Structure 1
Amino acid sequence: MDDLRSLREWRAEVPEPGQEWIVPQRRRLLTRIRGRRRVLVRRLLVVGALGTAAALALTTLWPEPLAPGPASTQSVVRLDSSVVLAGAAEVASRRMNAPVPLPTQWHYTKTLDKQPNSDTTTTDEHWRRYDGMQAASLGEDGELQVGPVWNPMDANDDDLSPQQYDAKLRDLPTDPRKLLAKITADRHWIEGAREEGVAAQDVPANLRAYNVIMLYLSRYGTMPPKLEAAMFRALALVPGVRIDQGVRDAAGRSGLGVWMEGPGDAPTRRYDILDARTYRYLGRQTLWLRDQFMSGSSTPSARKGAVWSTALLASAIVDRPGEKG
């Protein structure tokens, strides 16, 4: 997962149809020019178990399986989201409290990215200091590169530091309905920063709530157990949330694909993938539901069944860049 897509995932917005590649590549170019290293802070490890994935599937299967596209090798089955999320909340509530990271500690992530129509998988390793003032990554030569984050105090930047996200998260109530109301009304997620040349998007409240909850659930190892459980229970209250079993990440791991039901003509479906036993965030998958064409082109930019996926392989709080936990 590169710096550009990390930023896009941290914003509580969904790209307009046909922009899945245009906007990310423009962001990537601008980011490289500015020398900014953005780091995706993913994903929350939930310890404990509530039965096996197979047992859960037997109690929550819907009658008919979903048909995968021709380029997709996965075979997914729809689950009862209310049952799955209730189980996730129970597992989360049993987790031990983790210490709050110090401002001078670093968050390390190792991720995979597999583009559609390609067999090549890209591996990225990043570090970001918890106060957001520095970032580090491995260069093409394998050497560790450490530097300041581009203009970290920019008031128009919605890429908050890990410490700022943590502060917002810990200010949330543990009552699911109150939690949902607070994040839905939070002006930070409604307004956010706008990329130059890209029109502002009026994101529906339920979609914005889904995106924000998924962002917070990605706070790997730092969320209080009661709050994490409330996140899953609040997610169950969001209209349109669906869960499919058997969705694979870029590492080939099969998990629970959580997604939001949107317009019927949407060209893609975006899954956030959870481990079926621990509910750890495994990665993301975008599945093309039909051929998609760029403006003025007669050749599809992505065909029905094409898959773009990512995977989180490691996430840890460490004392210095270069450490991997």
Structure 2
Amino acid sequence: MDDLGFVRETGADTPPLSATARSAARRRLQKAILEESRLDASAVSRRVVFRFAMAATVAVSAAGTAYVVSPDDRKTHTPRIETVSAAKVLHNAADRSRSGSASLPVPRNDQYVYTETFITQTPLKGGKTKTWHDESWLSVDGSRPSRREEHGKVHYDAPLKKNVVVSPPNEYSQLKKWPTDPDELLKWLGHGQNRIAGPPRHEGDDTTALPRFDPDMSVYTEACLLMKGPRVMPPGLQAAAFEALAKLPRVRVDRDEVDALGRHGIGVSYPGTSFSLVFDRTTYDYLGMRQKGSHAELIDGDWRQVDWYWEMTSREKVGVVNRIGQRP
């Protein structure tokens, strides 16, 4: 196992730190980096640098940034520590999405887009984690019946009726009409509403308080719904969505996230929402989405939300096939 893998496994079961402990860890990390920078680079051992990496893992969430370990540019390939903002994570994810989208062939209208997805649900109050393995076959243009699974339940969707508008659409052919320019997509996601640069501030206000209506929150939520499967986006659309979200000033980096397949990553979220997008720490591949959910139950004549849980959805495989039941 390499050093980075050991860092990830070591911190996997560590409970979140308090704000005071996190602040102290961050100060120790910054002091260690400053002291290390005064030394001759050739004299710094791999073990010392590794200790810095451990400290960075502990202080992974700080004021909208994350500390990650990446290979050094020097010939020694010694790991170095970087501070990554939420916007940087999203831009890196956009670059990764563009480079990887070429591997998916452009489907014909008479074909199906296949997806394989893993889902886990963990109760907030503790208990057994539920796991589902879903497969779906979506008609590219909606002219044929589709078969999709959600939490193990099979749904057969009839061909899409003409003049029926679903937003965001599931059909690949409809998604091709969406803009791949981040600024234009930002307008689409905001439904043309004027955006704000963050909530207004007043003396004595809580810095995390939100206004009654925050258009940026609406944009973030719409983007998450776009990412939510089993839809598959044409080349450039997912990258544009990441870059559009990078323009929102309040997006933030979450603490270490673990997807439905056990992969550790960086989460990016927006205050006040229940969604968190999760990316690989090294490659910035999009791993999936984490969200808070609940079940509705009729109590004393009123529907109430009970049994709250965290749900993680991870996309494992995407492909283009000719018929329902066929796998790439």
Change (3 A) 1:229 1:150: closer
8 Å contact from structure 1 (residues 134, 146) kept in 2: no
Distance 1:282 1:181 in 2: 26
The aligned counterpart of 1:116 is 122
The aligned counterpart of 1:81 is 86
8 Å contact from structure 1 (residues 62, 79) kept in 2: no
Residue 277 of structure 1 aligns with an amino acid whose one-letter code is: T
The aligned counterpart of 2:276 is 271
Q: How does 1:125-140 map to 2 (within 5 A)?
A: 125-132=135-142, 133-136=144-147
2:324 alignment partner, SS class: coil
The aligned counterpart of 1:104 is 110
Give the count of matched residue pairs: 226
1:160 alignment partner, SS class: coil
Given the two structures, how large is their TM-score scaled by the length of structure 1?
Answer: 0.54
The aligned counterpart of 1:155 is 164
Q: Deviations over 1:215-264 (max 9, x none)?
A: 5556647313xx554433221111321122421122222222221112xx
CA positional deviation for 1:323: 1.8
The aligned counterpart of 1:35 is none
Which shifted more, 124-133 or 236-245? 236-245
The aligned counterpart of 1:198 is none
RMSD: 4.4
The aligned counterpart of 1:285 is 290
Question: Of residues 230, 234, 255 in structure 2, which corresponds to 1:222?
Answer: 234
Question: Of residues 211, 214, 217 in structure 1, which corresponds to 2:221?
Answer: 211
Distance 2:148 2:240 in 1: 34
Distance 2:184 2:167 in 1: 23
The aligned counterpart of 2:250 is 240
Change (3 A) 1:119 1:239: same
More strand per residue: 1 or 2? 2
Distance 2:233 2:165 in 1: 28
Q: How does 1:20-99 map to 2 (within 5 A)?
A: 61-63=60-62, 80-95=85-100, 97=102, 98-99=104-105
Percent of counterpart pairs with the same letter?
Answer: 25
Q: Deviations over 1:14-46 (max 9, x none)?
A: xxxxxxxxxxxxxxxxxxxxxxxxxxxxxxxxx
Q: Deviations over 1:151-173 (max 9, x none)?
A: 6446264463423432232xx15
2:185 alignment partner, SS class: helix
The aligned counterpart of 2:320 is 317
Residue 279 of structure 1 aligns with an amino acid whose one-letter code is: Y
CA positional deviation for 1:103: 0.8
CA positional deviation for 1:110: 1.8
Residue 146 of structure 2 aligns with an amino acid whose one-letter code is: A
Distance 2:226 2:186 in 1: 12
Distance 1:246 1:308 in 2: 15
8 Å contact from structure 1 (residues 294, 301) kept in 2: no
For structure 2, list consecutive stretches of 5 or more residues without a partner in the other structure: 1-52, 66-82, 194-211
The aligned counterpart of 1:255 is 265
Change (3 A) 1:88 1:138: closer
Change (3 A) 1:278 1:146: same
The aligned counterpart of 1:307 is 310
Change (3 A) 1:250 1:147: closer
Given the two structures, how large is their TM-score scaled by the length of structure 2?
Answer: 0.54
For structure 1, list consecutive stretches of 5 or more residues without a partner in the other structure: 1-53, 67-77, 188-201, 263-267
8 Å contact from structure 1 (residues 116, 302) kept in 2: no
